Amino acid sequence: MRILFAGGGTGGHLYPGLAIARALKSLSPDLDVVFIGATRGVERDVLPATDFPYLLLDLHPLYRSKPWLNISTLRGFVSAWRALGRLAREDRPALVVGTGGYASGATLGYAIAHGIPITIQEQNSYPGLTTRLASRFAREIYLGYDEAAAFLHPRRDAWIGETGNPIQPPPETIPGRGAARRKWGFPESGGNVLLVFGGSQGSRAMNEAMRDWIGRGLPENIYVIWGTGKAGYNDVRSLESRRIKIAPYLSPISDAYAASDLALTRAGALTSAELNAWGIPSVLIPLPTAAADHQTANARALAAAGAAVMLRQSDLSVDRLETEVVSLFDNPEKLAALARRASEQGKPNAAMVIAQRILALVTAGSAPQTHRGGKGANA
């Protein structure tokens, strides 16, 4: 039985699919899982390192600010449609799972046009264009944030619920904080560890603010684990010291999570899901140029839940950064409350929950009974 996963362009759309697919294969090893992505997306580098077969297509996003470039979008869509037809004739898929981004649009469109069932996993609190358009045809819709449901128009017999975002869950036994700190060369107790990263590409604005704060002088009781992104690393690597550990990438990031008391990050859906799963409070700085400003919507939702503090990039300065971080470290009760609410928001088993629903759907051969899930949908 073949299941297609369609999504990518960015890691935020690809990695949820990989998490679900791995959970699916653990439940049913004989499933034929194939990934569909774009030649110009992150999947070009990521998928060859996995065990999954894949097909990369000449897909492009919609160029809203440069509409004349959409001739490439149209040409790529047509060629992708033909390639999908050849794949479907080889072995008709039982289901297409869309995880968003421009890399999923053509595949979901092909499935809808040819009567192939689809499901959707939407990571953000404000759903992307692909999800909004395809949602009315989906058998099931798995939400990272319940707030996204207000923007969707599912069919009457569809199941829709907040399952959480699929991530690599924390280990069953999380290392003790002291042992985790020791890995980074920090004292096992005393002070606080601040984790800083701006996503896989890093953040120039966050890097500059941290650079200036360190130049001014960090308080003696603060230790920093800082993932700069490849582009920003050489500019700040000289700032590393016994209290400041700097790397272009934090891999495995679990070592950083286990040691951290507070995170300063972007508000990407998967980053937020991982922080919540680990119970790490955060100061979220949404990327202002994210599509439809979805990171601001994510940060606002978590701040409203009491799991994070939102700081707009337009308000980011050395003084504001220092005030936000130091005030939290100086108020252990507030920090603990944020951590507690983050844990309550966390859904570390989302990938397995979604995989179980998908497996039930394809083995039944038809949509399950009508149901609209809520915050308890993954119980």
**Structural domain contains residue 36:** yes
The pLDDT of residue 368: 42
Q: Are residues 90 and 231 in the same domain?
A: no
Mean pLDDT, range 140-153, rounded to an integer: 95
pLDDT in tens, 7-25: 988 888 999 999 999 999 9
- The answer on 256 and 131 residing in a single domain is no
Whether residues 197 and 162 share a domain: the answer is: no
Band of residue 378 on the pLDDT scale cut at 50, 70, 90: very low
Instruction: Please tell me which of 166-170, 363-367, 370-374 the model is most confident about, judged by mean pLDDT.
Output: 166-170
Residue 162 lies in a domain: yes
Output the furthest CA–CA distance in the chain (Å, rounded).
65
The mean pLDDT of 265-269, rounded to a whole number, is 93
Domain that holds residue 126: 2-169+349-372
For residue 251, what is the domain's CATH number? 3.40.50.2000
Residue-level pLDDT at 369: 41
| Least confident window among 100-104, 165-169, 282-286 | 100-104
Residue 152 or 128, more confident? 152
Q: Are 84 and 127 part of one and the same domain?
A: yes
Looking at residue 367, its pLDDT comes to 41
Whether residue 282 is found in the same domain as residue 331: yes
Residue 336: inside a domain: yes
Average pLDDT of the chain, as a whole number:
91
Residue 378 lies in a domain: no
| Residue 196 belongs to some domain of the structure | yes
Statement to judge: residues 133 and 17 lie in one domain = yes
- pLDDT, average across residues 173-195: 93
Mean pLDDT within 63-78: 78
Number of domains composing the chain: 2
Query: For residue 377, is it within any domain?
Result: no
Q: What is the pLDDT of residue 371?
A: 44
For residue 160, what pLDDT is reported? Answer: 97
> Is 379 within the bounds of a domain?
no
Q: Does 87 lie in the same domain as 18?
A: yes
**If pLDDT is split at 50, 70 and 90, which confidence band does 332 have?**
very high
**Same domain flag for 218 and 126:** no
Residue 302 maps to a domain: yes
How confident is residue 376, by pLDDT bands cut at 50, 70 and 90? very low
**Residue 370: pLDDT above 50?**
no
**257 and 357 housed in the same domain:** no
pLDDT of residue 122: 96
Q: Mean pLDDT, to the nearest integer, of 108-120?
A: 97
pLDDT in tens, 22-45: 999 999 999 999 999 999 888 999
Band of residue 104 on the pLDDT scale cut at 50, 70, 90? very high
Residue 79 pLDDT more than 90? Answer: no
Percent of the chain with pLDDT over 70: 95
Residues 91 and 195 reside in one and the same domain: no
Q: Quick one: what percent of the chain has pLDDT higher than 90?
A: 77
Q: 92 and 130: one domain?
A: yes
Same domain, 104 and 199: no
